[in-house]
Amino acid sequence: MATRSVCVLGGSGFVGTRLCAALAQEGWRITVPTRNPAGAARKLGMIPSLSLVGADIHDPGRLAGLCDRQHAVINLVGILNERGRDGSGFRRMHADLAAGIVGACHGARVDRLLQMSALNADADHGASHYLRSKGMAERIIRNESGPDLRWTIFQPSVIFGPGDGFVNRFAGLLRMIPAVLPLARPGARFAPVWVEDVVAAFMHALANDATAGEVYQLCGPDRLTLRDIVCMVRDELGLARAVIGLPNWASRMQAAVCDFVPGKPFSTDNYRSLTVDSVCSVNGLARLGIRPQALSAIMPRYIGDKGTAGRLSRYRQSASR
């Protein structure tokens, strides 16, 4: 069979790096556009069949060139926070980009598009700018793709694995704070899904035409509150820290303060996303024949004593003795 080619937008990110490794293993020729080729090269490592291209993906001409001659396009680009607070940053990154990708796919006659969305994405009733803009992107793809561009949409809960932004963020916070972690929206529910299960779902979709026109929610086997997850991380790290759940008013205040902290470690928009549980009504992994792995089974491999941070901490301790 002739080599198939795919453009992976967001291929340099947490999910993208794993997906690119799996695509390469299946013989795909991969193009990854990035704002920072040197940084992306470090994250992706050596993949002979992968080309990194410095590109502004919001430039329609550039996007058209990236989609040219591809058998498939995968969109993993996403942001959790915008610079301002009016939602325009989210709309540009999620909805406008989706419209640009659909247009570029039509122009280049690409007939397969995989779109990464999120659970609770809803253009009209989404709880946050993030979720509304993800919903707008989905609506554009459903309504504007037409019969020649076969799409599949994925809606994961929070994704975990080495290098994730979720477990690692709480691990960092827990290590940093002396005694007590005040936690916003402690009762928010998640069904954390392993990054390799998400990758398997994308690979399955690429290989199976029956997934075209389908939306797959992606969840792990366990429904956990945010407090459950943070306590699991704390226990794995072996840290004596109290995790104090904040009431709603205090969670909102914490978010409002963090809106003005550089890098927005937490934001009012994040707070709003946490007001809806991120759990599946029907797990798409089961529909795809994938048995999901639990956070409790995988997390010890990458944080705590067995993870890189744990190893570094042990080296530091032994060096200072």
Residues that bind ligand NAP (CB under 6 A): 10, 12-16, 34-36, 40, 57, 76-79, 93, 116, 118, 156, 158-159, 165-166
Cα separation, 193 vs 154, in Å, equals 12
User: Which of 34, 267 has the CB closer to ligand NAP?
Assistant: 34
Nearest distance in Å: CB 222, ligand NAP: 15
Helix then strand count (H, E) for the chain reads: 14, 13
* Cα gap 67→41, rounded to integer Å: 21
Rounded-to-integer distance, Cα 157 and Cα 72, Å: 24
CB of residue 287 to ligand NAP, shortest distance in Å: 18
CA distance 274 to 245: 14
CB of 193 to ligand NAP, least distance (A): 8
- Smallest distance from the beta carbon of 267 to ligand NAP, in angstroms? 14
Half-sphere exposure of 39 (CA within 13 A, CB side): 10
The nearer residue to ligand NAP, 57 or 279, going by C-beta atoms, is: 57
Please, which residue, 40 or 274, has the CB nearer to ligand NAP?
40
What are the φ/ψ torsions at residue 274 (nearest 5 degrees)? -75, -5
Number of residue whose CB is nearest ligand NAP = 13
Our CB check for ligand NAP shows the closer of 84 and 147 to be 84
Identify which of residues 78 and 135 has a Cβ nearer to ligand NAP in the complex: 78
Minimum CB distance to ligand NAP, residue 43 (Å): 8
Instruction: Give whichever of 248 and 308 is closer to ligand NAP, judged by the CB atom.
Output: 308
Query: Within 13 Å of residue 246, how many CA atoms lie on the same side as its CB?
Result: 15
Cα distance between residue 26 and residue 20, in whole Å: 10
> 35 or 314: whose CB is closer to ligand NAP?
35
CA 31 to each of CA 46, 98, 198: distance values in angstroms, whole numbers, following the listed order: 13, 18, 20
Nearest distance, CB of residue 160 and ligand NAP, angstroms: 7
DSSP secondary-structure letter at 292? P
Environment class of 30 (CB within 10 Å of its CB; exposed 0-12, middle 13-18, buried 19+): buried
Tell me the closest approach of the beta carbon of residue 259 to ligand NAP, in angstroms.
19
